[in-house]
Chain A
């Protein structure tokens, strides 16, 4: 046949180098592993940069506030003895960089310091509140992902006109309404008008899962819906945009059914974007917990943060700020890794 005109192209011949020919999954696993390492080495410097700078910000906050840092750190109405103790313990007479290194060293070793307002170790305070916030954030994240992806997919698939407008209305509403408003409306509707669920207080999940969930549903929903709308809107836009790509036309021309087109071609190409947005939104979810916990009278880290700010308990708030930034950054990094692992163009280092 006169078809042997195709000589190895540059890309095909030299493109992916050493990987063994065929034998799919194994090769993929190896590739993915080495890719994650590569990806991390490329990303870690900028992540570290953000973490270091935010730790400096957290460190410097009490020193920026007007007045003697020792007095500031001691909280309202401190005794001279406490002030002196703080001065000694934090080495406030040392140079600033040394204070910072000592503080960071302590954090890294797990020594989170002492709350001079509550007279308890910071670690203990946080540990006592952690479960409440973790449960709230976990359920909210689940709701956000489920509702966001679900509505996004519905909106991005060929639908009847009315189905699409219902989705649009949901998105527009919750895009415009922040967690605290959703929370207040839920309280009014499901707590007061039709008293279905408790609107304030909480119960540990491991004490009584059933009741715990009842307490969790409203705050978690309030926290999740606005973020879910963001996820849904993005997935929908992305899917509609992918739908107009040539390769979707080619799939249609191949005789592929609309359902298969949606999940094999459209969704697969939009999913990465959704993952990144979810990663970004989880940080916002944590921050939203501050308000939502306050509205639903939950004793989580959010309320701890608020009361620490009010009582100027700097040593607690510093740790909380650091952990919020840390979690947000790590989750973003994870979502970027997932995105890259999903996309062969990034995975195979195009």
Chain B
């Protein structure tokens, strides 16, 4: 993307594959016109990968749909050009566009569960792309077989006849990619293609995309919110905020020397897997702007740590600020430093010198989520404990049983076997008194801040309900509610507002305030930041840390994001298929993972670091088996990179389940060959 002032009449080879110029998209609504995309320009050359980074409402998906001319009603393009090989797609007829779609430009969507027609065989769905662009039927089928094979789907002769519901999420995304590749399109637009997938599956898909680019030379526009994905995959990038491009350039240049404070914040405000806990994250205040109400001037100024007076009034143009790098910022344009971030409070973490009695003890607990006669053990023999002021992180992919575990602890799922002790009381039977002990000791912070508050009740009512359980009523409850709101960083006067008046991050704060109402000793945080925008996550993580240290709370912190868990946790438990496969201090587990699954998880997580691209990744094969039908012996053996799949003589893995035991270097893992992959994975 060496695009300075290029003559539009230059020779054909000089044409970029796609050039977007001054694109403007708006959505006329009954409340006025929403300008979703405002004068954006970028280009992508043949065989390149362009990362488009932004948070919700930044206009990145709208841009992608505009290129395909597939805007949802009432969206409309108000101006600009979309030049594919020098021809403006905006001037083409709908019939011509149908030839372009699927043949010249193809698209991959975010949610593979929804992107395939459930009533059509996958083979027919691939063949359809070919048939509508003129391939004969029997040839289309032959080609569909090849494509399925190419995207790494096994046993194609059989799977081509299957329906989408017979495929896992990762496999469905492969089918979607096969559809996109069918007519050898030159450009692939991938809209958050891995966001709905687990880390190990994401690694598979990203590897697939890199390989396809290498083999087929397809150019990819990668739309994502994850700087790690950009670092891993892309050549160039643009950063979008409030419907505009705020920075663009080659990935390495932008990562090493961001010229816009927003880019800088996105890079610095996310926890990293290789940084130990101990310091607060430099969080950006506020939330991404609502496209219907963009602030004047530079739309980032209300959240910008380095904003000057001019930022409030005048909109900065996207200017060339460094060779091949552009940014729209008054401060960097005048040579200022945009890397200054709100100074993180230096945390004086006082880990309790003498850890007291555990608040929570879980011993060999199993939870049946199936029928009594056909048990499905979502939690299959787990032991752990949490003490005051300490955070135990639990990581694992979806379906590993981490949420069932937390629901079992608070009595929503009945304990099948084993024992749970809360505040010294055996609560396994979850009788009335037991539940009283549990609810007064342990509270829950939920994942989805939109679903965890009753839309029909003001947040004051929600808080007072929680307080009334703890016996605080009437005027005292009102006062305490205000205190709670202010404690989590919200305005105490907002008690009478309904949840819809709050942003996602604010709602999550309300959820935390509610959990604190009963003065619990411990919080279970179930993916508390994974539904939030990147720039909000840091705020909530900091809040949770402050509360833990100020109130001496114990946390059971459940997440799939290894970086977040590392940032917050003292000790970490790694779960796979209902079991803990590795446990230890965060330094131990992240520094020298003993279990091959831990090693693979660490290796699969994309890091916002361009130099990480060089390291060899462990990409796991396949998906996690269903807990309804677990493999014999070691649950991980069907995917294990050091197990019987690759070492035929390791029969022990298929016959004997490895116990969670002390390994040769003194850590705890459940593997017959613990520690073998540790060296490969350390970052």
A–B contact via C-beta, under 8 angstroms: yes
- Interface, chain A (partner B; CB < 8 A): 1-16, 21-22, 24, 27, 245-247, 249-257, 260, 264-265, 268-269, 342-345, 348, 350
Q: Is the CB of A255 within 8 A of B622?
A: no
Q: Is the CB of A250 within 8 A of B167?
A: no
Main secondary structure of the interface of B (DSSP, over half): loop
Q: Is the CB of B102 within 8 A of A253?
A: yes
User: Can you give 19 A-B contacts (C-beta < 8 A)?
Assistant: A3-B151, A4-B152, A6-B171, A11-B168, A12-B162, A22-B157, A24-B161, A247-B115, A247-B116, A249-B109, A250-B116, A254-B102, A255-B98, A255-B99, A265-B117, A342-B119, A345-B118, A345-B163, A348-B166
Contacts of A260 on B, CB cut-off 8 Å?
Answer: 132
Docked CA distance A252–B97 (Å): 10
Docked CA distance A252–B106 (Å): 10
Contacts of A256 on B, CB cut-off 8 Å?
Answer: 98, 102, 128-129, 132
Contacts of B361 on A, CB cut-off 8 Å?
Answer: none
What 9 pairs between A and B have smallest CB-CB spacing?
A6-B152, A7-B621, A255-B102, A7-B622, A246-B114, A254-B102, A255-B101, A253-B107, A344-B163
B129 and chain A: residue at smallest CB distance: A254
Contact of B329 with A by CB under 8 A: no
Q: How many residues of chain B are within 8 Å of chain A by beta carbon?
A: 61
Q: Is the CB of B153 within 8 A of A12?
A: yes
Contact of B376 with A by CB under 8 A: no
Docked CA distance A343–B118 (Å): 8
Contact of B303 with A by CB under 8 A: no
Partner of B157, one of A21, A245, A348: A21
- Residues of B90-120 contacting chain A, CB below 8 A: 98-103, 106-107, 109, 111, 114-120
Contact of B619 with A by CB under 8 A: yes
Q: Is the CB of B132 within 8 A of A255?
A: yes
Q: Is the CB of B166 within 8 A of A15?
A: yes
Binds A, one of B203-211, B253-261, B453-461, B675-683: B203-211
B106 and chain A: residue at smallest CB distance: A253
Query: In whole Å, how far is B181's beta carbon from the nearest beta carbon of chain A?
Result: 12
Cβ-Cβ contact count across A and B, 8 Å cutoff: 157
Q: Is the CB of A16 within 8 A of B157?
A: no
Docked CA distance A141–B208 (Å): 53
Q: Is the CB of B171 within 8 A of A15?
A: no
What is the 8 Å Cβ interface bit string for chain B, positions 125-155, against chain A (1 contact, 0 not)? 0001100110000000000000000111111
What is the 8 Å Cβ interface bit string for chain B, positions 203-229, against chain A (1 contact, 0 not)? 010011001000100000000000000
Binds A, one of B334-342, B426-434, B500-508, B623-631: B623-631
Query: In whole Å, how far is B133's beta carbon from the nearest beta carbon of chain A?
Result: 6
Beyond A1-B215, A247-B116, A345-B165, whether A254 also contacts B158 by CB under 8 A is no
Contacts of A9 on B, CB cut-off 8 Å?
Answer: 167-168, 170-171, 622-623
Docked CA distance A32–B493 (Å): 62
Query: In whole Å, how far is A274's beta carbon from the nearest beta carbon of chain B?
Result: 14
Contact of B81 with A by CB under 8 A: no
Partner of B115, one of A12, A246, A345: A246
Contacts of A14 on B, CB cut-off 8 Å?
Answer: 629
Contacts of B155 on A, CB cut-off 8 Å?
Answer: 8, 12-13
Docked CA distance A344–B99 (Å): 31
Query: In whole Å, how far is A165's beta carbon from the nearest beta carbon of chain B?
Result: 17
Contact of B308 with A by CB under 8 A: no
Contact of B326 with A by CB under 8 A: no
Contacts of A247 on B, CB cut-off 8 Å?
Answer: 114-118
Q: Is the CB of A8 within 8 A of B211?
A: no
Q: Is the CB of A252 within 8 A of B211?
A: no
Query: In whole Å, how far is A266's beta carbon from the nearest beta carbon of chain B?
Result: 10
Contact of B159 with A by CB under 8 A: yes
Partner of A12, one of B120, B154, B621, B645: B154
Q: Is the CB of B119 within 8 A of A12?
A: no
Q: Is the CB of A269 within 8 A of B118?
A: yes
Docked CA distance A14–B215 (Å): 31
Contact of B179 with A by CB under 8 A: yes
